[in-house]
Structure formats: C-alpha cells, structure tokens
A and B are shown apart, each in its own frame.
Chain A
Amino acid sequence: MISMPRIISPHHAQKIMNVVLWGVGLLAIVILIIIIGYILWNGLPQFSLEFIFGNPVGSGESGGIWPMIVSTFYVTFIALIVATPLGVLAAIWLAEYAGESTLVKAIRFAAETLASIPSIVFGLFGLTFFVVFLQMGFSVLSGGLTLALMAIPTILRTAEVSIEAVPQSYKEGSLALGASKWQTIYRVVIPAAIPGITTGIILGMARAIEETAAILYTVGAALAIPMSIWDPARPLPLHLYILATEGVSLPNAYGTAAVLVLIILIITISTNYLVEKYTKKMMGR
C-alpha cells in the first residue's frame, strides 16, 4: 500500500483544532455577552422606582411597567401549574410503564413534533380553542393555557430523559427490599431525577415567560393589572413588541427588555444554585 504524503502532521492538526474549538466556544460566550450587554446598556438607564412599580401612562410612552411584570408572573404561573404535573406524569409513564409499542413511539414522536411547532400556531390554536370555543375570552387563563401547551413537550422530554438516566441498580436495590414498582418510582427514581426534572420545568418556564406570539391572540393587551384569571393582561414580551413595532417608545422597549432578561437570569441562576445544593446533598459531594 502506498501511503499518502501528509499535508500537515498530527501534531500541527491537534494545535489547529485546539485553537478552532476554543475559538468557537469563546464566540458563543461573546455573542451572549454582547446581546445581554447591549440590552442592559440601553435598558438600565430607564430603570427607576416609577418605571418598575408604576402604571403606564398613555400606551406606555412614559410611566411604568408594573402591570406587565404582574401579568408575566401570572400567565407563567398558570402555564406551569398546568404543564408541570401533566409533563412530569407523562414522562414517568413513558419512561417506566409504557414499554416500546408502536403507540408509545407515536406518542413520543407527537411530543417532539409539538415541541417544534411555531409558537404563532399555538397562538392561533389558543385563539380558536380557548378564547372562542371555550369562551374564556382574551384572558390570563387563555394565555396561560396556551403557554402550558407549549411548555408540556419541553418538560416531558427533559423529565423523561432524566428519569431514564436513573441507574437500573437503584431500582433493583429497591425492588429487592420488597418495594413495589410505584414505591420504587416515587421514593428512589423521582428523587434521583429531580435535578433533571427541575431543569425541564425551568426550560418550559423560560419558553413560557419569553413567549410573545402564543399570547398575542389569547391574552389581550390590557394596560391594567389583571385582578383575576378572567381578566385580559399584557405580559412583558407583548408590551415590548407593541412598544417597538408601533413606535411608542424605543427607550421604554429597551427598559422592558432589560427587566425581562433580568427576571430570566435571576430565575435560572437561583434554580441552578438550588439544584446544585440538592445534588451535593444527595450525592455527598
């Protein structure tokens, strides 16, 4: 056999790849920092007590965004209390009970497809189903339920993967002590999968909290604080969208974006901290 002459030596190839891989990794961080930095740079100067805790004046050209902050938490909360039990229970069923039938494969495929459907389609569905057909009107409830539909596949897939990752040896240890299958699941499998399940819930929440298109047709656009789930509302992303596209106030759009980014950062960082603390306690390191 004739060996091809080498263009570059393995040693040099290694060096080049080191630089390329490091570069790509750094690029990802740099892009993130630029985007967040740009928003905070333009948004933070808008911050004041009045901006955070005040009501908007006019359609938002001045005044504050307190009703939008409340609306955001309200619809996200509704989405999570609906999507979390459904997603987690479905994940337990898929991972531990369903087996590998054609039906199960179809369900898994459906969940994956659902996760990749454009959010505007969810919005349209929410409009026809919740708002019109179920007569919930433009409300926190319609918006929250539409967001729940979007969050379920995210929570389901992440939770399923983390439940499947629980070592078989834990389950065998439990069964050998005379525990039933369900006892094994809720006493050993779920506690061991909690970090992954939490990550799934946070990903689902992030999807809900920053979603605009899905609530565009379902939640209304009221400027007042919603007093019940039947009231219309205006979550932060929707407010931001209206401020920017209708040319109401670009500085206030940046201020709103900064608040949204900070809320997401605070939730992600504090959840990561709690999950790490839990893992440390559970695994002893």
Chain B
Amino acid sequence: MENIIIEVKELNTYFDESHILKDIYLDIPRNAVTSLIGPSGCGKSTFLRTLNRMNDVIPTFKKEGTILLDGKEIYDPDVDVVDLRKRVGMVFQKPNPFPKSIFENVAYGLRVHGNNDKKDLERRVEASLKEAALWDEVKDKLDDSAMGLSGGQQQRLCIARTIAVEPEVILMDEPCSALDPISTTKIEDLIHKLKNEFTIIIVTHNMQQATRVSKYTAFFLHGEIVEKGLTDKIFIEPEDKRTEDYITGRFG
C-alpha cells in the first residue's frame, strides 16, 4: 500500500444546523497529487479548509470524526494551529498577494515564524521563487509591489510564499480558475514539479486539469464522496453512474 500522509475517517461537518460533509473517508497518499472534483456547493472547498483548520474562524463551524496528519489528530486540543498551518499550506482561488514588495511576500511566512536573518531570508526567498518558476521574471524587481504582477505571476508568487515555509502538504483551492490558459499551463507544470517534494490536494472544476495533474481523484456530490481512487480509473471506467454523468458533463 502507498504511504498515507492524511487519513480522514467518518468526517462530518456542520455550519449551524446545515450538514455539509457527510461521513467522509479519504486517504491522501504522500508526495502525490490528489484532485477533488464535484459540482459547486458539493463541499469540496469546505473539506479542503477543514484540513488546515481555516474553518475555525467561522463560529458556527462544527466538526465530528477523525483527521490524522501523520497519525496525529489535527483537531486535538494540544495541536497548535499555527504549527499545523506551517505544515499544511494553502493557495487560494483568487491570487491574494499582500500589498507589500515581492520579496516581503515570500519572506512573510518566515518572518512570522521568527526568522529575521537577512542572509538566510534572501537565500530562502530566492530558492522559493526559483522553485515556483518565477525567479527569472522578478529577480530585478524584488522591491516592487507584488500587486503590480499579472494574475498568473501573482498566483505563482502565492505558491512561492507557501513553499517558503516548507510545508508537507499544499492545499490548492481552484488555483487556476481566475487565470488565462497560458498561466494555467505554467501552474500545472509547477504542480508536476512540486509533487516530488510535497503532497498536493487540489480542488478543480476543470476535468482535464484533474486528469493532467493528479494521480488520485475523489468525486464529491452533496457533501458525500461518491467515488475515489486512481484518476485514470475514475475517468476511464467510473463505477458509479453519477460519476460518469458528472465527468462527461451531463450535469454540474
């Protein structure tokens, strides 16, 4: 069996009375890309944000069940949420660089975690930008505002910012939905490169993208996982009629 980094068992989540995720079981293999697909409102983004506890800020959020990261429940009272988010990074749907310089955007996570060594910051910022395939485009304007970059560059900057803190898992919430096709290709190439080093979980509405970037796929519908497994298997011979209907575009 594969090496599993995140193990989700019997997960149920609620906002107030409304039951969002229902009895989710899902294993996330280490150093591979897992796609979460499904129609809007099916709970895949909620699921993603449960994995780094971003839903904690919503007072009505309630979670039942187990989410193990390397065998340790991430909702245990002794888990430091700051430490968890260092290990489980996140890239958002809309590029959200801070209104700061390009350098400070990438250095942000490191500074927040107490690194103020100028030399070390410079080294890590450069390494992260290179890894995010952005270095050549920005190396001469590191002091310029990140807000002046194009949307695709901003999203790669957000990826650089995330990998700078060396997480184990990167959550991506439709990272290409606001980007043009060329920028999308660059991000997908980047995902291929990053999967050797990181575990990536990506929410996508683009079926082709799921087949291009991911080894595993889980299909969400109405808060449940209908089908999960190898991406090739799901897209070539889905077991469930609903999966087939969705991936062939008959609904959703």
A contact set with B: CB distance below 8 Å: 167, 169-170, 172-180, 183, 187-188, 191-192, 281-285
Contacts and interface: CB of A to CB of B under 8 A. Distances in A.
Please classify how large the interface on chain B is, using the bins under 10, 10 to 19, 20 to 34, 35 or more: 20 to 34
A182 to B, nearest CB: 11
Given A178-B109, A178-B165, A180-B82, A170 B98 contact: yes
B131 to A, nearest CB: 16
B18 to A, nearest CB: 21
B148 A285 contact: yes
A170 B146 CA distance: 13
Given A175-B57, A177-B161, A282-B100, A183 B112 contact: yes
B230 interface: no
A177 B109 contact: yes
Most buried by B among A172, A175, A176, A191: A176
Contact of A283 (B54, B86, B99): B99
Those 8 A-B pairs whose CB atoms lie nearest each other, nearest first: A284-B148, A284-B145, A169-B96, A177-B109, A176-B90, A178-B86, A178-B85, A179-B112
A173 B157 CA distance: 12
Contacts of A173: 92, 96-98, 158, 161
B119 to A, nearest CB: 21
B56 to A, nearest CB: 9
B231 interface: no
Nearest to A285: B148
A284 B144 contact: yes
B140 interface: no
16 contacts: A170-B96, A170-B98, A172-B54, A173-B98, A177-B85, A177-B108, A178-B82, A178-B165, A179-B109, A183-B112, A187-B108, A187-B111, A192-B99, A282-B99, A282-B147, A283-B99
B89 A281 contact: no
Looking at chain A's contact residues, the main secondary structure is helix
Nearest to B164: A177
Given A177-B86, A177-B108, A284-B144, 5 more contacts: A172-B92, A173-B98, A177-B165, A180-B112, A183-B112
B243 interface: no
Contacts of B85: 175-178
Interface in B48-86: 52, 54, 57, 82-86
Contact of B89 (A177, A183, A187, A191): A177
Nearest to A184: B112
Contacts of B57: 175
B94 interface: yes
B13 interface: no
B99 A176 contact: no
Contacts of A180: 82, 112
Nearest to B144: A284
Contacts of B112: 174, 177-180, 183, 187
Given A175-B85, A285-B147, A170 B99 contact: yes
B193 interface: no
B94 A178 contact: no
B162 interface: yes
A191 B108 CA distance: 13
B54 to A, nearest CB: 6
B150 to A, nearest CB: 11
A172 B85 CA distance: 11
